[in-house]
Structure 1
Amino acid sequence: MTFPVFDLHCDLLSYLIKYPKADPFNTEKIACAVPFLQQGNVKVQVCAIYTDVRSESMQLGLGQAELFSDLVRKYPETFYSYQPDSDLKEPKIGIFAAIENAAGIGNEEAKWSEIYRQFDLILEKVGQLAYISLTHHTENRFGGGNYTEGIGLKDDGKKLLEYMSGKKIPIDLSHTSDLLAEGIFNHISSQNLKIPVIASHSNYRAIWNHKRNLSDEFAQEIVRQEGIIGVNFLRAFLDNDVPERLFEHILHGFEIGGEKAQCFGADFFFTKDFPDKNRHPFYFPLTENASKYPSILEELNKNLTEYQLQNLASENAFHFYHKLHR
């Protein structure tokens, strides 16, 4: 079953900056290589600007923003810079930049004048941002990551949220601690900030109890605020042993009221150099690369209508960004 696909997360850019001779068309290296995207009918792919917490994080963030521009410049027959009013019938792949870990905007030592300049420079290079995640797995100056306990929204996180307000850039909860997610909701509400809230690549704790997954409370608040939630394909966040748990996560998203929120956020990244061999293979064959979308949708056809499948595949994400940028 073939529908246009709008995927909310991959790590192609961090792969390309780590390995300067890497080829985005090489299907032997990364599961979101161009031929896989084309086979899966991916019409829009969000490409994260990712860095961990380190002194050179701002340099790496800016470098990935430049690589984003290079993809469009070097491969104009394959990529274009996605605009929210673009037609999903476009034969090329629209790429849309995002920031995964705000360490790429400001490292631990950066002055706020440098952070503002970095933010604006990245935005200038990529045109627009699909979202910003304040953290990744660990703590940084902005707040607590999803593997930290008892660390919420810090003063610098509040300041960054206030700078984001009104810029039509969603805040992403996919890598927050629970306390940080709560702090983000509370600060947006108390300060009346104009910031949509999403989870770009997260599953559900009710199906698989993992810190990376959303509680129903947070998921339903995203739904209430008309945000979107992208289901993650990584085995560790689905179920270590049961591939079909993917479908339970997706259907749970519908069951908690997310018919207009549930999307895809596959989270394909370069896994071959990952040191923890216990996590290999990272993906089940069911979800091993971006060509698998038609077969995933075909299986879901047993439980969802064609209208619901189309919403899941692309329409929910498409309408979210279209509405945001009207």
Structure 2
Amino acid sequence: MAKLRAEQLAAAASKSLAPIYIISGDEPLLVQEACDTLRQSARQQGYTERERYHADKSFDWGQLHASAASLSLFAEKKIIELHITGGKPGTEGGKALQEYAARPADDNLLLIVLPKIDRNTQKAKWFSALEQAGVFIQIWPINGAQLHQWLDQRLSAAGLSADRSAIDMLATRIEGNLLAAAQEIEKLKLLATDGRVDSQLLANVVANSARYDIFGLVDKALLGDVQAAVRNLQGLKGEGTEPLAILWALTRDIRSLLQVAAGTASGSNFDWACKQAGVWDSKKSIVSAALRRLKPNELEVLLRKCNGIDRAVKGMRPADPWDELLDLVLQLAGVRSLTASNTRMSLSI
């Protein structure tokens, strides 16, 4: 069996089609898109009819033979699509697939869709039989190191360009769910009228156009407007905003404050330090107000607290993320809501 990567499928299938294709993987979006690529190439080469079957435990494998043998009144060629949701066809199914692979029909294309399969499954007789006649496309997951590049390429394919902070926020938002990423990018196509995506636009999408604004929350906290910041946080919670989206914005600005503080401490003037930290001109007065109230060692503690909240959101630490976000916002606004001993305990868990 020829093995192809998903990105090689379009070029290979446009030249010639094998009688059997197996697409296997646990990334629903990538599996779906690989199937779509194959279907499109097949339609262009005369496979205008499609029959789809789900092979569960009650599936009658005689349908596979019947479908292969039946002639269509409306098309000369057809795609027989077989989804084996459990990953293994069983004894009867394995026999049927071996028989089909021995004599694949000239006017049929058999597409078999499987979840991720292990090496033992690939050594099974039915898989070995298919191996002699078809093409195997194994879909690999997109890991953390590859996700940012994948998102950048996906945005570019959609006609969008995004800065690094926007891609970071999108990666945080989707948590590895590529279907969710595709949906968010479709929203951005409608909202980014000039084709550019920045973190503010993305935050609005993440918040589902919430009446309460994530960046407004951060600005109010930096200004020390405690009541407005807490009201904004509660509003975002009530509207279903995800804690990670809020945490991302808070963490980003705490890091910017630390960078500006370090720059001025080393002799740079305030404007240059803000430029180096990526602080917009419109936000310089807010940053200045925050730095008059918050010392670098306090900001370091808040940054560590952000890490603790991130672990709480992801279930790696026994704490309520919303309670800890409230505490973070209060401390950023200048309210000492926890004693020193309690603060150390929350950071060490």
Confirm or deny a common fold (TM above 0.5).
Answer: no
Give the TM-score normalised by structure 2. 0.20
Question: Larger helix proportion, structure 1 or 2?
Answer: 2
Higher Cα Rg, which structure? 2
Give the TM-score normalised by structure 1. 0.21
Highest relative contact order (Cα 8 Å, sep 6+), 1 or 2? 1
